[in-house]
Amino acid sequence: MSLQDRLTELRDQGLADIKSADVLKKVNQVKVDLLGKKGPITEVLRGMRDLAPEERPKVGAYANEVRDRLQNAIDQRREELEQAAVNKQLAAEKLDVTLPGREIPQGQPHVITQIITELEDLFMGMGYQIVDGDEVEEDYYNFERLNLPKDHPARDMQDTFYITKDVLLRTQTSADQPRSLENHDFSKGPLKVLSPGRVYRRDTDDATHSHQFHQIEGLVVDKHITMADLKGTLTLVANTLFGDQFDVRLRPSYFPFTEPSVEADVTCFNCNGKGCAICKQTGWIEVLGAGMVHPHVLEMSGIDPEVYGGFAFGLGPDRFAMLKYGVDDIRNFYLNDVRFLSQFYKKG
Amino acid sequence: MRISTAWLKDYLKLDIPADELAEKIERTAVEVDGVIRPDEGQKKVVVGHILTCDPHPDSDHLHVCSVDVGEDEPLQIVCGAPNVAAGQNVIVALPNSWIGNHTKIKKSKMRGVKSAGMICALDELGFDEKLVPKEVADGIFILPDDATPGDPVFGYLGMDDEIIDMSVTPNRGDMLSMNGTAHELAAIYDQTPTMPTVDLHEDESDDANDQLEVRVDADEHDVPMYKMRLIKNVTIKPSPLWLQIRIWNAGMRPINNVVDATNYVLMQYGQPLHAFDYDKLTNGHVNVRLAKAGEHLTTLDGEDRELLPTDLLICSDDTPICLAGTMGGLDTEVTAATTDIALEGAVFDAVKIRKTAHNHDLHSEASMRYERGIDHGMTETALNAAAAMIAELSGGTVANGVCVGRDEDVQPVTVQITLSKINHVLGTELSLDTVADIFKRLDFPTTLTGETYTVTVPSRRWDIHIPADLIEEVARLYGYDNLPATLPTGQPTIGKLNETQQIIRDSRKLMESAGLTQAISYSLTTEAKAKAFALHPSDVTKLDFPMSSERTTLRLSLVSGLLDDLAYNNARKEHNVALYEEGRVFYSQPEQVRPKEIEHIAGAITGSMVKKSWGVAEQPVDFYQIKGIVAGYLKSLALEAPVSYVATTAHPEMHPGRTANIFVGDQLVGFVGEIHPNTAKAYKVRETYVFELDLTALIALPKARQQYQPISKFPSITRDVAMLIDDTVTNADVVALINKKGGAHLQSVELFDVYNGSHVPSGKKSLAYTLTYRDQNATLVDDDVTAAFDKVLSALTEELGAEIR
């Protein structure tokens, strides 16, 4: 038998052995048996000494080819077996991925905070400062400086918790207006502030009344602020809270600290203005009060109403939340039932 | 104010559906609550003529009537009204008719007698009980003799009217009258209204001033105008139906011809008037003054009222007979026997009337108008109109002359405004003509010089006195819908949270990330709860006049409210609750009128924060979990001074062995721990862990300077030590000592085990720490570390009596 034939025989035998090896150990054994230093191929190569010199390269090349072929076959088989082992392990490790994960507890912001935060961000984007006024205020700032002298009939609209004759729980975040006005340095630019916070009214708590609720007051004063600016700003508020498709309409109203005064209605989000129970068939929902700052309010803060003017608006996040989410009882906001709080998971 | 659209037609040509009119009023003037249609939903209710009326055979009060309803055959109807009689024209609800309050009338039998329909009283047609004239309150309503049987009844009763119910804002008192509303609508629709005229005939032979002497003792501020007229020889009787209809459609009850005439003129002019029985006045003397302490008056409603020194009174020979502008006295009331009337037309101070109405809880049509102000220019006209109307309706005569207690020279107000100012404020480009036209429609005489309007505002619009008021008139009549929508321009400003606001917002997020949900509790609570959990002692801030005993006092802590929230949840079987609140507490300040408002942040956790699930057991919250939340939060604030926790028994509401005060440096900033079992019982909560932090203080404390520390290239070496030590020695003591003796290369001390179970002697515990050593600049030599570590061990043994294991 020629060496070539011997090599061919070894190759065929080896490939068969490799193919039949069903565990890694056997593959390794085949490798040692065939390709090891004492293996048959080495032996064949050793036999090349007896060949004619011109034969040697031929046989050598063939031997290398056989060896490479076997080595490749071994590598391939090994990889197959390794992969099979991995696959087997993976199959055994299969999980029910629909089982719940181990949740890290997460809290969430109160729905009123969500609305306030959303509006704060909107207005900060337009250059407004956020102002946190005091909840216990002087009658003077809460009422008189807002053009509501004692015994003004409009005071009936806001029944008040007094602490002393002159000190009260603020009934409106508008109470921050006079302090903002008198503290502002107009040489540094316009006054643009947003005052969110808690307010209090002497009301008996029921589904639609709460002795504690929230307000957001906005105030802009500069040399040229128009009622059209107010209308545009209120439209933006409505679009931010309810969506772009809603219209805003203004109606005349009365607040002692603004003139003209308006109330703003937004297209009913429930029926899109067609008329439904929520909007009492009008297609509109009253959402906020606003107006151009009354000249007396400016004067009382030492600002010349001939030079400066501005607008103010006030809205109730509680009412917004009730409208937006269909909350039917305002007390829900302050009882902190976790089943209620956990229903609102927007940004805080 | 209810505005009858039928009545409005006396003033204006309005061929406009009531709903559209209401919408226009709402968009241009005042809010509208709705349009009332008295006949809405009612059908087949007709005039019936009672042909015969016989007693029911089986009843002592029912009658069996034969009623002509305009059909071939009369109907037999059983009626229980005491005033039913043959010959009357009455209201008949036919079989299968619908009457008030969605009631259907069917044929029926009453005590065995067939009844084909019903003879109705006014309240059965949906009339408010308060509007039904008293003389027909207990029976059926009798229609006029000339009513045609079979005709629908609604036209006869004014029920086919459409009534706009306006909610008038305090500034628009002028719209609390038909005249004012007509002026407003005339401006809106650009019409010239036909205003009522007064046709007064005075009896020149009978001088009022001879018989009536009026004196005003109150000052001009309180009573700017006071006038009276005398009407003689009146006959008191019910008003004609047309007048009754106007009165009840305006939301008032018809009383008699005299009172109805004053109310009619009140509705027309917005001028309250009061009719006194002249014969009850002592000597014909009337004086007006403030009440004196201790005086009493029995008002028309029969109430005996103790008067206050702020009450304005009408007196007769100094005896109170009327609460001015609010309610008349019973003694001088116009009754069926009255023959002569002293009629008052006056102006009273708004504030005085407001106080009287408020103090006596007497809110009347008159007081409502005085409080908002009335047209001083129309007082005498209205007085004359009412006198003429009374005379006409009652057959009386008006005595010659007005008795004047006080008169006022009423002048219109003149206001100047420029076109550019109007456009500047509104953001519009209105033309001179557009604005001039609006003033013309308002019927405000105006002159134009250059671009300056000089506007003469009639006394009927007393709400207008400054340029801004005119801008509002222009804006609303031009239409808010027509305003452009823009955003403010001008110098840009920076809008961003200040440091305090940013930390508050971050703090909320950190709490939420730690698993706590934000609560907003009530700031007002009971005094006991307000004081509970206070970080520092303070007096409380109390309401002067609380609504309920539950809400009297401003809180000094947030934990107290959070426990109320937990109790609310526990009562609803929610036992795993983790809440935090960020908000104000109120520290009373001795020398200040207002309390100091401090931001706090607090948390309360009960039950397990980890949701029970497959393979996960609930983990009831404990001290170390809530402390971990607080520690993680405080770490994120990057405070410069170290945070320490010191056991305290100073909070009576807290568990004495499981509560720590929290210090930053040596400043007390809060506490953390378990609430006392007694507290838990009092608040009706289970085992609960809480913390309360003074956020204002934390915000003010210096923050660590942020500076990069190079990361050492050299390896660290660790040494573990386990020791047996007395129970009374705290972890803080051990760590402090290790740090003190640890040497220059000690980097950190980590507690990794605490054991005080059965394998350690009683009174002892086992603690184990890992000490990490590292040199920033060189590789540590093992021997150096061993030497440093040995120093620590001997210090622990010598100073804390530790037994190293």
State the burial class of residue A165 (Cβ atoms within 10 Å of its Cβ: 0-12, 13-18, 19+): exposed
Domain boundaries A111-341, corresponding CATH code: 3.30.930.10
This prediction's pTM: 0.87
A236 contact residues in B (CB cutoff 8 A): 487
B-chain residue closest to A150, CA distance: B351
DSSP of B115-178: E-SEEE-GGGGT--GGGS-GGGTTSPPEEPTTPPTTSBSTTTTTTT--EEEEE--GGGGGGSSH
CB A210, CB A184: distance < 8 Å: no
* Distances from the Cα of B501 to the Cα of B497, B506, B582, B598, B695, angstroms: 5, 9, 12, 13, 11
Higher pLDDT, residue A281 or B416: B416
Q: What pLDDT does residue B368 have?
A: 93
Please give the Cα distance from B671 to B643 (Å, whole number). Answer: 12
A342 contact residues in B (CB cutoff 8 A): 517
> How many other CB atoms are there within 10 angstroms of residue B559's CB atom?
31
The answer to whether the CB atoms of B492 and A212 lie below 8 A apart is no
Q: What pLDDT does residue A157 have?
A: 62
Distance from CA of B629 to the nearest CA of A (A): 12
Distance of CA A262 to the CA centre of its chain: 34
DSSP of B674-740: EEPHHHHHHHT--SEEEEEEEHHHHHHSPBPPP---PPPSSPPEEEEEEEEEETTS-HHHHHHHHHH
* Domains delineated in chain B: 2-34+167-189 (3.30.56.10), 43-143 (2.40.50.140), 202-406 (3.50.40.10), 413-481 (3.30.56.10), 499-700 (3.30.930.10), 717-804 (3.30.70.380)
Pairing label, strands B397-400, B341-347: unpaired
Q: Which two tokens stand for residue A107?
A: 């809290």
The answer to whether the CB atoms of A338 and B371 lie below 8 A apart is no
Distance from CA of A339 to the nearest CA of B (A): 8
CB A169, CB A200: distance < 8 Å: yes
How open is the CA angle A343-B675-B699, to the nearest 5 degrees? 70
Q: How far apart are the first and last CA of chain A?
A: 87
**Cis peptide bond N-terminal to B152, omega within 30:** no
B-chain residue closest to A234, CA distance: B485
Q: What pLDDT does residue A346 have?
A: 61
The answer to whether the CB atoms of A163 and B541 lie below 8 A apart is yes
Which candidate in B310, B463, B520, B555 is best for mutational testing of the A interface (most A CBs within 10 A)?
Answer: B520
A154 contact residues in B (CB cutoff 8 A): 170
A-chain residue closest to B588, CA distance: A136
Which candidate in B30, B415, B422, B483 is best for mutational testing of the A interface (most A CBs within 10 A)?
Answer: B483
> How many other CB atoms are there within 10 angstroms of residue B220's CB atom?
11
Q: What pLDDT does residue A45 have?
A: 79
Q: Is B463 annotated as a binding residue?
A: yes
From the list A100, A153, A341, the residue facing B371 with the nearest CB is A153
From the list A152, A157, A190, the residue facing B493 with the nearest CB is A190
Q: Which amino acid, one-letter code, is at A55?
A: E
Q: Which two tokens stand for residue B99?
A: 């009457």
Please give the Cα distance from B380 to B377 (Å, whole number). Answer: 8
- Provide the chain B residues 17-56 that lie in CB contact (below 8 A) with chain A: 26-31
pLDDT tens for A68-120 read: 998 999 999 999 999 999 999 999 999 999 998 888 889 999 999 999 999 99
Q: Which two tokens stand for residue A176?
A: 């921050």
CB A329, CB A100: distance < 8 Å: no
pLDDT tens for B700-737 read: 999 998 889 888 889 999 999 999 999 999 999 999 99
Q: What residue ranges do the domains of chain A occupy? A: 3-92, 111-341
A204 contact residues in B (CB cutoff 8 A): 547-548
Distance from CA of A163 to the nearest CA of B (A): 5
From the list A106, A204, A251, the residue facing B512 with the nearest CB is A106
B586 touches chain A (CB under 8 A): yes
The pLDDT-based confidence of A348 (bands split at 50, 70, 90) is very low
Q: What pLDDT does residue A104 have?
A: 86
Q: Which candidate, B394, B385, B345, places its Cα nearest to that of B232? A: B394
* Phi, then psi, of B296 in degrees rounded to 5: -125, 155
The pLDDT-based confidence of A156 (bands split at 50, 70, 90) is low
A126 contact residues in B (CB cutoff 8 A): 487-488, 495
A250 contact residues in B (CB cutoff 8 A): 480-481, 483
Please give the Cα distance from A61 to A344 (Å, whole number). Answer: 77
Higher pLDDT, residue B243 or A65: B243
Distance from CA of B430 to the nearest CA of A (A): 13
- Provide the chain B residues 344-403 that lie in CB contact (below 8 A) with chain A: 350-351, 354-355, 371-372
Q: Is B113 helix (H, G, I), strand (E, B) or coil?
A: strand
For B759-765, the CB contacts below 8 A with 24+ separation are B760/B724, B761/B724, B763/B726, B763/B727, B764/B724, B764/B725, B764/B726, B764/B727, B765/B724, B765/B725, B765/B726, B765/B727
Q: Which amino acid, one-letter code, is at B265?
A: V
**Phi-psi domain of B707 (left: phi exceeds 0; alpha: psi -120 through 50; beta: other):** beta
From the list B171, B355, B520, the residue facing A254 with the nearest CB is B171
Q: Which two tokens stand for residue B498?
A: 């200040």
Please give the Cα distance from B437 to B557 (Å, whole number). Answer: 61
Distance from CA of A141 to the nearest CA of B (A): 13
Tell me which residues of chain B have a pLDDT lower than 70: none
Q: Is A208 helix (H, G, I), strand (E, B) or coil?
A: coil
B-chain residue closest to A286, CA distance: B31
* Distances from the Cα of A195 to the Cα of A130, A179, A219, B492, angstroms: 6, 11, 8, 19
Please give the Cα distance from B273 to B344 (Å, whole number). Answer: 5
pLDDT tens for B580-639 read: 999 999 999 888 889 999 999 999 999 999 888 888 888 999 999 999 999 999 999 999
A-chain residue closest to B541, CA distance: A163
Q: Which candidate, A235, A277, A219, A76, places its Cα nearest to that of B486? A: A235
